[in-house]
Amino acid sequence: MTKSKDDLLEQYCIVKGTKEFLKTNSNLSFVGIEENKFGFKALHHDKETLIRQLGNQVIIEKPTLEEILLYTTKGGNYHVPTH
């Protein structure tokens, strides 16, 4: 079964938070993570569950289709470290 664009945009979410949060919550199954000097940005595949688990501990945003494609075409969990 193929999901529609709207289904994908509702299912996935972009998560932003601090490096400290990322270190203490390494068990979260992000599709991909990018770190920078301010913290991290990641794609998660289950927005509703993440909102229930984390509440307001992180910033949760609606992804663009381009972001979903970028993270999912990298082949599983990829991690871009801080430069």
Half-sphere exposure of 8 (CA within 13 A, CB side): 15
CATH (residue range 5-77): 3.30.70
Mean predicted confidence (pLDDT) in 48-76: 87
Which residues on neighbouring strands pair with residue 14, listed in sequence order?
A: 43, 61
Query: Above 50 in pLDDT, residue 83?
Result: no
For residue 37, give every residue at least 6 positions away whose Cβ sits within 8 Å of its Cβ, in sequence order, or none: 82
Does pTM surpass 0.85? Answer: no
Query: Above 50 in pLDDT, residue 76?
Result: no
Residue 30's H or E segment, with its range, is strand 30-36
**Cα 59 to Cα 77: distance, rounded to the nearest angstrom:** 20
pLDDT of residue 5: 86
Which tens digits make up the pLDDT trace of 27-41?
888 998 988 888 999
Count other Cβ atoms within 10 Å, centred on residue 60.
17
Q: What is the DSSP letter of 38?
A: T
Tokens linked to 77: 């969990």
